[in-house]
C-alpha cells in the first residue's frame, strides 16, 4: 500500500487533500497533531476515510504539545468510529489502555505501535527488541529511523522481512530512500510517499516517481 501524509493546518483543507491523495494512493495519514483546533467531530469525519489517525506527541518528533488526556480521548473517538488505523507511540504510557478500549468496544481499528529516531538507526539487535515490544502491545509494529549507511538499510529491510505483514519499517533521509521503495516487497504493510512536494518526514519519495520505479522494477 501507498500512504500519503496529510499535513494541512486546517481540517477542511485536510479533508480536501485526503480526497485528492486517495486518487493516487491506497490510504492517507491524517497528521492530526499538525491541525489547529481539532475536535472529536473532526476525528469522526477523518475516520470515514481509509486512513491512519496520528496525533504525534512533540516528545516523539510531532507537533502535539497539548494535554495528553485530550490526545488519548481523540484516539478513543477514532477507535469508536472504527478508523482503519491509529498510530500511537511505544513510549506512550497509555498505549495498552487504548488497545483495551479497542477490544472492549469491539472496534475494527488496527493499532500501530511506533518508534521514531531522527538521529540514527539502532543496530539489528536493538531494532529487533523494539519491534518485539511493539507487537506485544499492538497489531502492527512501526519504526522510522534515520538511515546513514548501507548497513542501516540492510538491517531495516532484514527486520521488515522477518515480520512480514505485521510491520511498517522505514529508513528516513537520503540513504533510507531504498527502504521506502523496496520495503513493501520485503514485507512492510505500506510505504509513506509525498505528493506535490509535501512530506511529513525526510526522504519520502514522490508518489508519481514511486509508482514509475515500481513499474520499472516489475
Written as one string, the DSSP assignment of the chain is: -EEEEE--SSHHHHHHHHHHHTTT-SEEEEEGGGSSS--HHHHHHHHTSSEEEE--BGGGTSSB-S-HHHHHHHHHHHHHTT-SEEEEETT-TTHHHHHHHHHHTT---EEEEEEEESS----HHHHHHHHHHHHHHSSEEEEEEE--SHHHHHHHHHHHHHTTTSEEEEEESSTTHHHHHHHHHHTBS-EEEEBTTB-SSTTPEEHHHHHHHHHHH-
Q: Is 198 annotated as a binding residue?
A: no
Q: Is 56 annotated as a binding residue?
A: yes
Q: Is 116 a catalytic residue?
A: yes
Q: Is 31 annotated as a binding residue?
A: yes
Q: Is 180 annotated as a binding residue?
A: yes
**Per the residue annotation, which of 23, 84, 94, 142 is the catalytic one?**
142
Nearest to 176 by CA among 114, 121, 97: 121
Q: Is 30 annotated as a binding residue?
A: yes
**Per the residue annotation, which of 116, 148, 158, 166 is the catalytic one?**
116
Nearest to 96 by CA among 52, 138, 130, 132: 138
Q: Is 23 a catalytic residue?
A: no
Q: Which residues are annotated as a binding site?
A: 29-31, 56, 180, 200, 204
Q: Which residues are annotated as a binding site for 3-dehydroquinate?
A: 29-31, 56, 180, 200, 204
Residues marked active site are found at: 116, 142
Amino acid at each position: 500500500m501507498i500512504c500519503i501524509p496529510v499535513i494541512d493546518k486546517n481540517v477542511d483543507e485536510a479533508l480536501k487533500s485526503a480526497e485528492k491523495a486517495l486518487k493516487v494512493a491506497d490510504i492517507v495519514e491524517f497528521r492530526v497533531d499538525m491541525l489547529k483546533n481539532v475536535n472529536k467531530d473532526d476525528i469522526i469525519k477523518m475516520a470515514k476515510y481509509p486512513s491512519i489517525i496520528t496525533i504525534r506527541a512533540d516528545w516523539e518528533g510531532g507537533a502535539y504539545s497539548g494535554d495528553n488526556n485530550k490526545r488519548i480521548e481523540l484516539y478513543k473517538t477514532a477507535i469508536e468510529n472504527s478508523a482503519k488505523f491509529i498510530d500511537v507511540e511505544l513510549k506512550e504510557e497509555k498505549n495498552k489502555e487504548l488497545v483495551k478500549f479497542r477490544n472492549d468496544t469491539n472496534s475494527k481499528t488496527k493499532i500501530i505501535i511506533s518508534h521514531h529516531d531522527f538521529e540514527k538507526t539502532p543496530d539489528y539487535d536493538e531494532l529487533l527488541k523494539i519491534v518485539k515490544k511493539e507487537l506485544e502491545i499492538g497489531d502492527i509494529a512501526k519504526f522510522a529511523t534515520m538511515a546513514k549507511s548501507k548497513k542501516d538499510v540492510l538491517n531495516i529491510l532484514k527486520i521488515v522481512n522477518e515480520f512480514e505483514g505485521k510491520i511498517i519499517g522505514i529508513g528516513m533521509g537520503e540513504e533510507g530512500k531504498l527502504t521506502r521503495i523496496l520495503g513493501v516487497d520485503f514485507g512492510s504493510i505500506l510505504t509513506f510517499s509525498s505528493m506535490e512536494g509535501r512530506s511529513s518526514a525526510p526522504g519520502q519519495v514522490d508518489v508519481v516517481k514511486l509508482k514509475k520505479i515500481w513499474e520499472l522494477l516489475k
